[in-house]
C-alpha cells in the first residue's frame, strides 16, 4: 500500500487511538504529516474504503469500530485469489493446518474459559451426531475446529484458520462425502475429535496438540488416498503476465 497509509496507521497506533476515537482534522493532520490536504484525503479515502476509518461530514474522521479485525482481514486478503485459482492447493493448506491447529489445540487447552468449553462440547456433539448430508456435516466439522481456534484466545490464529477453512470450503464437502465411503473412517474421525476435545477440556495441552496432529495427518492421508484413486490431473502450469505497455484495444 502507499507509505502514507502506513504513516497514518502508525500514527493511530502510536497515539493509542481506540476504535471510535477522533483523528485530528484533515488540515491539521496534513500539516503534521507534511503533505497537502489533497494527498491526505486521497489516502484517507483508501482507509475509509477499507473500513478502517469512518468519516462524518462536519464532525470529523474516526477510527472505525472493529478496525483491528478489519486489519486482519485485510492482511489475509491475498488468500482469496488463491481460492479462485485452481483448486489444487488443499495439500498446501493441510500442511499449514497441521501446525496451526495443533498450536490452537495446545493453547486452547491452556486458555479455554467456561464459555469456550461449553461451545466446544456443543460443537463436538454436533460433529459426532453425524448429519446425513455432507454439507451440514462439513459445517459441523468447520465449527468444531473453529471452536478450538476461538478457545486459543489468539485473534490472529483464529483469523488465519478461518481463512484457511474459507479456502477449502469448496473441496471439503465433496471430499468428506468420499471420505465416508471408506470403511471405519467415520468412527475413526469421531474418536479423534473426541480425543482432541477431551484433552482440551482436561487442560492437557501436549495431549491436545498430539491429538490434533494425529487427526490432521489422518485426514491429509485419507484425502491423498482419495485423490490418487480419482486419479485427477494435477495443477496447470503457471501463467506469466506482464503489465500493460500503453496500447489500448478497441
Partner DNA sequence: AAAGATATTTGGTAGGACCAATTGGTATCA
Partner DNA sequence: TGATACCAATTGGTCCTACCAAATATCTTT
Binding status of residue 81 toward DNA by CB under 7 A: no
136 binds, among its own copies, DNA, none (CB under 5 to 8 A by kind): none
Nearer to DNA, 35 or 83 (CB): 35
Residues 73-92: x where in contact with its own copies by CB under 8 A, - otherwise, as a string: xxxxxxxxxxxxxxxxx--x
Residues 12-41: x where in contact with its own copies by CB under 8 A, - otherwise, as a string: xx-xxxx-xxx-x-------------x--x
Nearer to its own copies, 114 or 234 (CB): 234
35 binds, among DNA, its own copies, none (CB under 5 to 8 A by kind): DNA
List the beta strands (DSSP E) in the chain. Answer: 53-56, 60-63
Binding status of residue 218 toward its own copies by CB under 8 A: no
Please state the closest distance from residue 149 (CB atom) to DNA, in A.
29
Report CA torsion sign: 5, 6, 11, 17.
Answer: positive
Binding status of residue 133 toward its own copies by CB under 8 A: no
CA distance 150 to 104: 8
The answer for residues whose C-beta is within 8 angstroms of residue 131's C-beta and 6 or more apart is 137, 140
Backbone angles phi, psi at 41, to 5 degrees: -65, -40
CA distance 79 to 167: 7
Please state the closest distance from residue 41 (CB atom) to DNA, in A.
6
The C-alpha cell that represents 173 in the structure block: 464437502
- CA-nearest of 49, 52, 80 to 64 is 52
# residues near DNA by CB under 7 A: 24
# residues near its own copies by CB under 8 A: 90
The answer for residues whose C-beta is within 8 angstroms of residue 201's C-beta and 6 or more apart is 112, 117, 120, 121
For the segment 41-80, give every residue that binds DNA (CB under 7 A): 41-42, 44, 55-61
Binder among 1, 18, 27, 156 for DNA (CB under 7 A): 27
Please state the closest distance from residue 132 (CB atom) to DNA, in A.
24
CA distance 250 to 238: 28
Q: How many CB atoms lie within 10 A of CB 134?
A: 18
List contacts with DNA (CB under 7 A). Answer: 23, 25-28, 34-39, 41-42, 44, 55-61, 244-246
Amino acid at each position: 500500500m502507499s507509505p502514507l497509509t502506513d504513516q497514518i496507521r502508525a500514527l493511530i497506533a502510536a497515539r493509542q487511538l481506540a476504535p471510535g476515537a477522533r483523528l485530528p482534522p484533515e488540515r491539521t493532520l496534513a500539516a503534521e504529516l507534511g503533505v497537502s490536504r489533497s494527498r491526505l484525503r486521497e489516502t484517507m479515502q483508501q482507509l475509509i474504503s477499507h473500513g478502517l476509518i469512518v468519516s462524518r461530514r462536519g464532525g470529523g474522521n474516526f477510527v472505525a469500530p472493529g478496525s483491528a479485525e478489519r486489519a486482519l482481514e485485510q492482511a489475509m486478503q491475498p488468500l482469496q485469489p488463491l481460492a479462485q485459482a485452481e483448486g489444487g492447493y488443499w495439500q498446501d493448506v493441510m500442511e499449514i493446518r497441521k501446525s496451526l491447529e495443533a498450536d490452537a489445540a495446545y493453547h486452547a487447552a491452556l486458555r479455554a474459559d467456561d464459555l469456550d468449553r461449553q461451545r466446544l462440547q456443543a460443537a463436538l456433539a454436533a460433529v459426532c451426531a453425524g448429519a446425513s448430508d455432507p454439507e451440514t456435516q462439513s459445517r459441523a466439522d468447520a465449527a468444531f475446529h473453529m471452536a478450538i481456534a476461538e478457545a486459543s484466545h489468539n485473534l490472529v490464529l483464529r483469523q488465519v484458520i478461518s481463512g484457511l477453512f474459507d479456502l477449502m470450503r469448496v473441496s471439503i464437502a465433496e471430499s468428506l462425502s468420499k471420505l465416508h465411503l471408506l470403511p471405519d473412517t467415520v468412527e475413526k474421525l469421531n474418536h479423534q475429535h473426541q480425543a482432541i476435545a477431551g484433552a482440551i477440556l482436561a487442560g492437557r495441552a501436549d495431549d491436545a496438540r498430539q491429538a490434533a496432529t494425529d487427526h490432521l495427518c489422518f485426514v491429509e492421508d485419507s484425502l491423498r488416498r482419495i485423490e490418487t484413486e480419482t486419479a485427477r490431473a494435477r495443477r496447470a502450469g503457471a501463467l506469466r503476465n506482464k503489465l500493460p505497455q500503453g496500447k489500448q484495444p478497441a
